[in-house]
Every structure is written in C-alpha cells, then in structure tokens.
Amino acid sequence: MTILLAVFSVIILVASCSAIMFPSEVLSSVREFMVESGIWWAASARVVLAVLLWFSAPASRTPITFKALAVVATLGAVFLVVTGSEGMLEIIDWFASWPLWGVRLQSTVGVAFALFLLWSIFSKRADE
C-alpha cells in the first residue's frame, strides 16, 4: 500500500507543479474534465487516496495525521458527489477568476501535501 501511496503522491506532485507552471491550461483541462462526468473519477480518486492513507498509516512517520487525512479525503469525495458537476464548475470558474499568482500559490499546497506524504512514507521514524 505504501508504494501505491508514493505513486499517488508523485501524481499529485506532478499535477500541482503543472498547475504552478501552467495555471490557465490546467484550470481549462480540469473544467473540461468535470463537464464530461469527471466528478465520479475525482470522487473515486479521493476514495482511493483515503484507503491508501488509512492502510499506509501504520508504516508512516505520521500515522495519526494519515488517518485524519483519510477522513478528510473521504469527506472530500462526499462533497464532490453532493456538489455535483454544475456546482464544481462554478467553483472552478470562481477559482479561474483569481489572479494567476493566486492560483499558483494555491497549487503550492498540493506540492507541500505531496512532499509531506513522501517524507512521511520514506523517512525513518524516531522510534525505529
């Protein structure tokens, strides 16, 4: 499970870096993806992330944080489904109205999240 979470983390890292470098293009792609029933894929990705976090928690440096993030990812999946495609398109359009530096700044959160996951997976725990 830990290796799968590491792969997922690298995907998050690449996507976030892409959003930093090409914010307009990434937002357009995300919007197009959501129009084509992407809401179910996005929700499924959050459920997969939640499962990976939950089952990788014992092997991580931060098991309690991983379990808390698993709960947050699950709630994110529920939020996506409840909000629906139309609601998500409104959120994406609102996000796209931000200045590019704001989109880039927000995308650094994804970079930090992915790096945190990788650090927590691969660094030695103090009690080992």
Quick check: is 128 in a domain?
Answer: no
Quick check: is 19 in a domain?
Answer: yes
- pLDDT surpassing 80 at residue 26: yes
| Amino acid making up residue 117 | L
Q: What is the pLDDT of residues 99-109, one digit of tens each?
A: 999 999 999 99
Q: From CA 2, how far away is CA 62, in angstroms rounded?
A: 13
More confident residue, 127 or 118: 118
pLDDT of residue 56: 95
Quick check: is 101 in a domain?
Answer: yes
Quick check: is 67 in a domain?
Answer: yes
Q: Which of 112, 85, 100, 98 is nearest to 30 (CA)?
A: 85
* pTM of the model as a whole: 0.86
Nearest-5° Cα angle at 44, 104 to 114: 40
Q: Which domain holds residue 37?
A: 2-122
Question: Of 33-37, 67-71, 72-76, 122-126, which gets the smallest average pLDDT?
Answer: 122-126
CB 70 within 8 A of CB 51: yes
Neighbours of 73 (CB within 10 A): 19
Quick check: is 38 in a domain?
Answer: yes
Residue at token pair 């590491």: 6
Quick check: is 127 in a domain?
Answer: no
DSSP 25-49: HHHHHHHHHHHTTHHHHHHHHHHHH
Question: Of 14-23, 70-79, 92-101, which gets the smallest average pLDDT?
Answer: 92-101
Q: Reduced to 3 states, what is the DSSP secondary structure of residue 118?
A: helix
Quick check: is 76 in a domain?
Answer: yes
Six token digits for residue 29: 């792609």
Quick check: is 104 in a domain?
Answer: yes
Domain count, the chain: 1
